[in-house]
Homo-oligomer: A and B are copies of this chain.
Amino acid sequence: MSQVDLTIAELPFHLVADELERLRANTPLVHVLTNEVVQCFTANTLLAIGASPAMIVAEAEVADFAAIADALLINIGTVYPVRLQAMNLAIDAANAAATPWVLDPVAVGVLQYRRDAALAMLAKKPAAIRGNGSEILALAAALALNAEAIAGGKGVDSTMSSMSALSAAQQLARATGAIVAVTGATDYITDGEQTWAVPWGHPMMTRVVGTGCALSAVVAAFLADAPNRLNAVAAACAVMAIAGERAVECSDGPGTFVAPFLDALHVIHPVQLRSYSE
């Protein structure tokens, strides 16, 4: 492997502002094929941020719809054969239309069936991959990219920090051509060379189901017609983390977190984000 210059820097707020302004102007139509648990929260998250979600799942429809959508999310959290086939049809149609698609490889380190499914998807070139430390390490290990032991992920929660998976994320990005976002206490977003760090957010977000899955949908929304995919994916992580911090301030626990989180996504404004840089 050739020598690469690996730089890490904190994502500047003005880039987040630029990307959010672009998303709000685009109101991208996001085709969502996600797990059974988080569909409602994912749809509400996309609506709150300013995107338009559509969950179209039939094999007879996914190809037609992926071709007219502005971005596609594939999340394998509750994947089973019929749905997997629909996902692959959607991916092929998205690729044919040059529509960016995102892979969220939920619990890919734990179960062989979905690992095989995810590896086959990787060969179809996602624009981005969003996972926790355990998931990104597991993908890198499955591709034999990384000598570190694969994580023994417990269920769908990460047992590995995002930092411990950073090197695997960079290798995965270089091997697949995808932007890789490995999320945790700090999120790292990399194209294999340049890496943005997003150090915001709050641990409470791990006690609410679907914050990671919804982030992957928001990544898809930001990737729609994005001139710079690294910045787009990083901005998605940043907006979700910032909204999470705000929501924690307005809540007493995981139950009261959700409503102000969606409100924060709805009101977060580029002008405000730019003021943070000053």
A36 touches B37 (CB 8 A): no
Q: Considering the chains assembled together, what is the distance between the CA atoms of A263 and B112 in angstroms?
A: 36
Count of A interface residues, CB-CB < 8 Å: 63
Contacts of A146 in B (CB 8 A): none
- Chain A 139-163 near chain B by CB (<8 Å), digits 1 or 0: 0000000000000001111000000
Whose C-beta in chain B lies nearest to the C-beta of A35?
B55
A29 touches B155 (CB 8 A): yes
Q: Using A111-B64, A210-B40 as known contacts, say yes or no to A261 and B266 having CB atoms under 8 A apart.
A: no
Whose C-beta in chain B lies nearest to the C-beta of A267?
B253
* Oligomeric state, in copies: 3
Nearest-neighbour CB distance to chain B for A93, whole angstroms, equals: 13
B255 touches A261 (CB 8 A): yes
A52 touches B113 (CB 8 A): no
Contacts of A155 in B (CB 8 A): 29, 52-54, 69
- Chain A 19-49 near chain B by CB (<8 Å), digits 1 or 0: 0000000000100000111111101100110
Interface check A119, CB cutoff 8 A? no
- Chain A 56-86 near chain B by CB (<8 Å), digits 1 or 0: 1111110011001100000001111110001
Interface check A258, CB cutoff 8 A? yes
Interface check A237, CB cutoff 8 A? no
Nearest-neighbour CB distance to chain B for A187, whole angstroms, equals: 20
Whose C-beta in chain B lies nearest to the C-beta of A204?
B266
When the two chains form the complex, which single residue of B40, B58, B107, B251 contacts A209, counting CB atoms closer than 8 Å?
B40
